Every structure is written in C-alpha cells, then in structure tokens.
Amino acid sequence: NLGLYTLNGSIQGREQMRNIAEYIVSTGRSWKGNIGSTKVIFEFTKASIVRAPITLGNDHNASDRYDEVSFWVKNRGLIRWSGFANPRLEGRKVIFERKNWEPKSEDDDPHLKFGMFPKPKY
C-alpha cells in the first residue's frame, strides 16, 4: 500500500507532504500456528532517500514530532519505520525479516514514512 499524508507546517507558504508505504502482515494472526518465515522488501528508486533509517520501532506515542516539517527539513533522506522487526538496509532496499513468529496486531505491519515534497495544487 502506497500513500501520502500532509505534514504540519509549510515551506515558502506551500504545505508539505510525505510518502508512506506499508505491507499488511497482521492478518496472519488468524492462521493456525506460527509463520515459518516472513521477508518484506521495500525498494527505492533514489538512493538518497535511504541514507539512514530512524529506529523507532512501534513507539507510536513518540511519533508526533515526525509529523512536523521542521524535523524532516533537518533530517532529509531519513526513513521513519515501524513493524515486526528491526529492518536492515541493503543499497536501496529496506528489508524486514523474521522467522517462526505470529503477528499480534496492526503494529506488526511494516510501515515507512519518507520523501518530503510540496503538496500539489489542484
């Protein structure tokens, strides 16, 4: 699932937006038994976007500042992530991987926020 959301703030009077990408694994909690192996790969077309992931895990209570334009202006190229495992970075790929586990909730779904840009005018 790919999408967009509006950030709090603007640059030169234009609202800014971020990309989001996620993959749903939480529906696996209805399966019988553990999932033997899960590997979710997000691949980017611009290497500059994936310089250094932000390691937040599933701490949604601390995410308010990550919705502010000022944070992303200072930290261009970073990826805010949450999901079922600490991801690793391989070139342009962000990889979540885990063996023998069972999803507990939607917090296990790998989720990325990245790439600030001006909101389009309609």
pLDDT per residue as tens digits for the range 31-58 = 888 889 999 999 877 655 545 555 444 4
Q: What's the pTM value of the predicted model, to 2 decimals?
A: 0.78
- C-alpha 21/C-alpha 111 separation (Å) is 6
> CB of 78 within 8 A of CB of 65?
no
Q: Are strands 78-82 and 52-55 parallel, antiparallel or unpaired?
A: parallel
Backbone phi, psi, residue 94, to 5°: -110, 120
pLDDT per residue as tens digits for the range 52-105 = 555 444 445 555 677 788 877 777 777 888 899 989 888 778 899 999 999 999
